[in-house]
Amino acid sequence: MARIAFIGLGIMGSPMAVHLQNAGHDVVGYNPSPEKTRPLVDAGGTAAESTADAVKDAEVIAVMVPDSPDVEDVLINGIFGNAPEGALIIDFSSIRPDVTTALAKQAIERGYRILDAPVSGGEAGAVNAKLSIMVGGSAEDFAEVEDIFTTVGKTVVHVGPNGAGQTVKAANQLIVATNIQAVAEALIFLEAYGVDTEAALTVLGGGLAGSAALEQKKQNMLTRSFEPGFRIDLHHKDMGIVTSAAREAGVVLPVGALMAQLMASARANGDGGLDHSGLLRGVERLSGQTPA
């Protein structure tokens, strides 16, 4: 069992920290909004007053914050110099691969070890400990904390050196966005012809058109209920990572570019705080319909 500091107790981080505490680890959590520490404290964990306070005795430090600047701030201004030398940092956030690589270099120079371990599966995956986790970093460090990953995730794969996890996550977000958009367009198409949409999506899900996106997001779309499991704002950020990294690598992603624009349109129309299944509203707007 490890002494774990968990920085970032939001929609994803909170249930992950609780799973780790319930598994027998000693978890100290910090979140800028103190009320977010309540589920961890109720599970027997401890709330810290700052990142520096949380990491001071940690063997493993988990980070789950929204974007590249947030991770840079947490590491540079909170972890580096305050955590014990040799501590292993696991960054569960989804950020730019180049930022991850640069931060990994700084961490190693300061005597820390670091893994980038972005996750896929949304709030449901975090709550049910069924996340997919793509891990970049040394194989030895991965092996040391593999039990931590399997406590919060179902599919856990070491995909290469530092930065590889974030690159695989960017590819994941491209596929997820495209699948959600396809399901949304299919649903609007079916509705236009008066088809029993629930029955139609059930049979489509049983064939080659089936996907995790269809299965997990169809009820959101059928009921027009877009309570966030993964916000459009965050997927917009991720599509920016995809398009930027693709340009840097010199590869052309036409669908990726289109999805980045559709995410941007959703935000511009005020849907950024909705679940990414809310892309359906953009299809409605393009079809001359007023979203409910």
Residue positions annotated with a catalytic role: 169
DSSP classification of residue 113: E
Residues 265 and 139: their CA atoms lie apart, in Å, by 40
* Contacts of the segment 190-194: beta carbons below 8 A, 24+ positions apart: 192/287
Contact 228/274 with Cβ under 8 angstroms?
A: yes
How many Å from the N-terminal Cα to the C-terminal Cα in the chain? 49
Query: Mind spelling out the 3-state secondary structure of 47-110?
Result: ECCCHHHHHCCCCEEEECCCCHHHHHHHHHHHHCCCCCCCCEEEECCCCCHHHHHHHHHHHHHC
Q: Smallest Cα–Cα separation from 144: which of 102, 109, 115?
A: 115
**Beta-sheet pairing, 119-120 with 131-136:** antiparallel
Residues 6+ apart with CB under 8 A from 81: 110
Residues 275 and 91: their CA atoms lie apart, in Å, by 23
- Amino acid code (one letter) for 183: V
Contact 256/246 with Cβ under 8 angstroms?
A: yes
Contact 64/7 with Cβ under 8 angstroms?
A: yes
Q: Give the distance from CA 132 to its chain's centroid.
A: 10
